[in-house]
Structure 1
Amino acid sequence: MSHNIELKEGAFVVSDAHYSHIRPEFLDFLKAIHAKQLQPTQLILMGDIFDTLFGNVPYTQEVNSQAVSILNEISQTIEVIYLEGNHDFNLKKVFPKVKVFGIKEQPLKVEYGSKKVLLAHGDIESPLFYNIYTSIVRNPFVISVLNILDSISRHLIINRLDEYLSKKDDCKEFRGFREFIEKRLDNKYQCNYFIEGHFHQNKMLELEDFRYINLAAFACNQRYFIVKSFKDVELLEENIFSIQDDTVRRY
């Protein structure tokens, strides 16, 4: 299905921020955009932006309310594209002005000049058991049961999940990554670029049919990317977001 989305020069691309009260940096990043200290032409969020944000579980919206609110305000003035991940899904009602794409709508085809670009969070083309798991956790009945149990337990389930996820190492190296990607994606897609997150590797690979880009996780040193001119074969420029003495800095 075509959505007629154009990738814009100067767009910010962010993946795997895993935002929570333990990792607050993404909130500062959103505040900088909202205050126009950073001025993207478009904001593309590649999934797992929140560590736990489930559309049918109100408590997850409550604990992330400040970031959700600011992102909704940003979407009033610039185009925001959100590819759901495995930590954040069923979000179309949470972000009414954001163009939200679930896992079944990925990879998302966008055009950039004469280039065809495919975007995905990164959990497509996964093993059978993983696909079964993702279908179960996104199921409205399962989510409603989780919501009831979490409410009864005074949010013990979600809080324990947050605590567990906060201890994961999001910056570890994936050994044998090229071989894994070649087996998983090669000869399956027609495009110039295939961009995804999920694996947090910050690597670009020249495959037989396209240039593959795996994004760094924002959770690792606050890395994000800016779309360059479509004439630049590297396409994305890596940046690091930081605030020093109340001043927003890019590296």
Structure 2
Amino acid sequence: MKHSVSLASPMSLKILQSGAILIADAHCAPWRTPFIDFLRALESGEIQTSQLILMGDIFDMLYGPIPRTYGYNTEGLELLNRLSERLEIIYLEGNHDFLIAELLPRVDVFRREDQPLIMSYEGKQIAFSHGDSAMGWGYELYTALIRSRTVLGCLRLIDTLGGGFIVTWLEKQMKRKKHCRPIEHFERLMANRIEELKLDSVDVLIEGHFHQNRVFGFNHLSYINVGAFACNERYFTVQSIQNQPLLHEAVFRKEPR
């Protein structure tokens, strides 16, 4: 399946701000809470930014039509809603957190079908995407099904009638998942995907999803796969691209380990 992206005109592009903070794949859950500490640090002013870009899979299980998943994430959602009153928050939905715009009314939420988001920075066009695009027809079918409100409504009913066994099973799977494994031949795999995406006018593509923390060039394009916050609390700050990388990596530690 071929993918193409309709790029906005330069006058309509969102502006990427210097000092913006990017976070990908925090997989926040009651059993994994460093992202909550990070949001508290933002709220207290310990960490400062005027623009926060969340690259998807911020929550391990957050599905808009499934109210039971809100309970796992109440504190994180409340913190994001408070922060959104005083800073710009952009949220790219991932494959673990979707159909969530109604939960975050002041946050700019971008669905999978609205990605990549193209932003302007220092004369460059920077594309942001969670990363689970151009993954083949099987994945396209799967992701369409899991985002269907009809399918989710049926699953919610079954889960309720079954005493919550579906969400409980999902929780067990999420706890077992390993987030920090290297992917063999990653550069070659990404080159094939980028070819499918046809981002001819984009200078930089930034994605999460794969948790690899890698940078490489593909023809005219600079590709950045940001590291997962869930692995070691990595986050990234946008800096000037004059003679240095676009993103500065930092590691958040609320408490020494």
TM-score in terms of structure 1 length: 0.94
5 Å-filtered alignment, 1:172-211, equals 172-186=181-195, 188-189=198-199, 190-211=201-222
> Structure 1: which 5+ residue stretches go unaligned?
246-251
- Cα-to-partner distance string for 1:52-110 (whole Å, 9 max, x where unaligned): 00011111112210111111111111000000000000011010000000010011111
Aligned-partner Cα distance in 2 for 1:215–1:166: 22
The correspondence for 1:12, drawn from 9, 17, 21, is: 21
Whose helix fraction is larger, Structure 1's or Structure 2's?
2
The aligned length equals 245
The correspondence for 1:219, drawn from 207, 220, 230, is: 230
Runs (4+) of structure 1 moved beyond 4 Å? none
Aligned-partner Cα distance in 2 for 1:155–1:29: 30
Instruction: Give the CA deviation at 1:155.
Output: 2.2
Which stretch shows the higher mean deviation, 140-149 or 186-195? Answer: 186-195
Secondary structure of the corresponding residue to residue 219 of structure 1: helix
- Cα-to-partner distance string for 1:107-136 (whole Å, 9 max, x where unaligned): 111111201000000001111010000000
1:118 and 2:137 matched: no
Instruction: Give the CA deviation at 1:219.
Output: 0.3
1:36 and 2:65 matched: no
Counterpart of 2:118 in structure 1 is 109
Aligned-partner Cα distance in 1 for 2:38–2:24: 13
1:213 alignment partner AA: I
Secondary structure of the corresponding residue to residue 229 of structure 2: coil
1:119 alignment partner AA: F
Counterpart of 1:159 in structure 2 is 168
Aligned-partner Cα distance in 2 for 1:218–1:243: 13
1:22 and 2:31 matched: yes
Secondary structure of the corresponding residue to residue 42 of structure 2: helix
Secondary structure of the corresponding residue to residue 186 of structure 1: helix
Instruction: Give the CA deviation at 1:233.
Output: 4.2
* Superposition CA RMSD, Å: 1.3
TM-score in terms of structure 2 length: 0.92
Secondary structure of the corresponding residue to residue 28 of structure 2: coil
> Structure 2: which 5+ residue stretches go unaligned?
1-5
Alpha carbons 1:11, 1:227 under 8 Å: kept:
yes
1:96 alignment partner AA: P
